[in-house]
Structure 1
Amino acid sequence: MDTLLAVRARGITKCFGDVVALDGIDLDVARGQVHGLVGPNGAGKTTLLGLLLGLAVADGGRLEVLGTPVERALSVPDGVAGFVDAPGLYPSLTARQNLAALAALRGLDTGTAGIDDVLGEVGLTDVADDKARGFSLGMRQRLGLAAALLTRPRLLVLDEPSNGLDPAGKRHVHGVLARLAADGTAVVLSSHRMDDLEALCSEVTIVATGRVVFSGPLGKLAAENRELDYRLRTSDPVTARRVAGDTAGIRIVDDSGPRQDADVLVVRGKVAALDELVADVVRADVAVRELAPVVSPLEAAFLALTERQEAGR
């Protein structure tokens, strides 16, 4: 048993009738790590999150959470918190009353100060005495996060926590999760937002058709041998196009049609060739104003891996 792991899963299977939701899942999540869980709809993400929260039990394999084997439903150890799909709230109660009710149900001795602390952490102090029924989706997500924080979790499991958040709210939640990880809490985060995962996660697991198709550091997905499309914005697009056409390993993507950004060129190549292109453009006395992937490395890898898995079913 690895005491540095918050989650250790080996060969996890779960079926619902004839439907195989999880098919031999392996997963390691280290303490103090934000670990992303990615996959298309129906891939098995929600089922896996439910197992981590103790809402169900696996049909086969071995699951350890915070060093404790999980062998039946509702048997996860203390220190696990989070939500799947959406947080459950009492709409007729205020934010503060919702948290007080949860604390009472869990036997938590938090007091008013503890409740106010977590409301402040998620940025809901100003609406603490407003009823939850009037909350936006983003506010409900933040209240669900506050409910999870009440327990001071060592493993936090979150399903689409950025749903409905405006940019300020998203930044606030990102800050909370980063601080939790820095303090040693393991966070398992499922999201369709690739920008969230790239901003927060050190490692990701990609699931398709109930199987793991990739698990490891984000940097491994953006390996330098992978060709990606990049937007190249320069001060002289005509010269940049000529240079790109002469640079080994670079292809100009045919993006014919009306374009608002006439100074942008879309090129395809590996990282080493892109580095050479930038150097060549600068040597041609052209300023490089932007070089950015059209699709993020995580999203490109996600699409390639999941499409390959679907095709091989």
Structure 2
Amino acid sequence: MRKINGDSPLPAGIFAIALATLVSGLTALQSRSQTPVRETGFVFEGEGTMNRVSALMVEYTGECPGKDEPPDMTAWFISDSTPTGRRRRVRITNVTTGLDPNRLPYTDRGYEQNKSSEKISFRFGNKHGDSRFRVRPGLNQFQYQIREGNDRILEEGTFAANFDLETRSQVRNSQLISSQVCANSSISLNRCADIRTENKWQCPNGSVVRREISPPGPPQTVIRNDSPDTVYFQVNNGDRVLGPGEAMELRGNSPGSVRYSQSSGDRLNRTMFLQPAVLYRFRRSGNSLNLVDR
């Protein structure tokens, strides 16, 4: 017999029953704490926690808006209840609410070697497409089935995995790119008489926010006498003369035409229609005079 707080004695039988109940409860609690946790689901590359992965998406504002989608996530399926083996495969279906019910994403992977399935690549999306397993941001629910051969089902069940998506905002403006261009964009630089500087502000995807040509103004076409003789000719029916090494300029988008004589003393029997911003040269080859643009 023992007393509690000076009250009437507690019968020995009742005390023994209470003590036995306490011991039994502690034993059951210890047994439950020693029960191994079942591991089924995805082991993600670079992550220390099973069935959880983090991804980052960057949204751009400013002159070059857009976004960088997160890279593919990589994982392997494991089940400590059913080891890998010959002719074994695992089929996993994403049954999360909000996905296209007529095209639920799924993956079917070999489950034969080491301790896990073949590699699985994940991408965010709402329906099945290409070789990547589509998931939604947040908690996803999955059904799985491990088979051997075509018909024998070894294990099936469900599990959940969390795909945390962090979104960051970042200002992205265009970059200045300068280059040499011809005032006539259809003419190569080695034929061009009017080379200018083009400044363009370009986004990473190649789109141009704005463009400037410096200096501004109509294109300039040049005719130069590279022959050792004085050349008499016409430009748009007007008489012109160029001594050796001299040049003339024509401004505008329609420089017109040139008439000249291939041989001294002959009438003007040759005609060339001019393109804007091209460098033309009179050159002599033997007794023949030619106007060329190369």
| Normalised TM-score (structure 1) | 0.22
More strand by share: 2
Specify the structure having the higher radius of gyration (Cα): 2
TM-score by length of 2: 0.23
Higher relative contact order (CA 8 A, sep 6+): 1
1 or 2, which has the higher helix percentage? 1
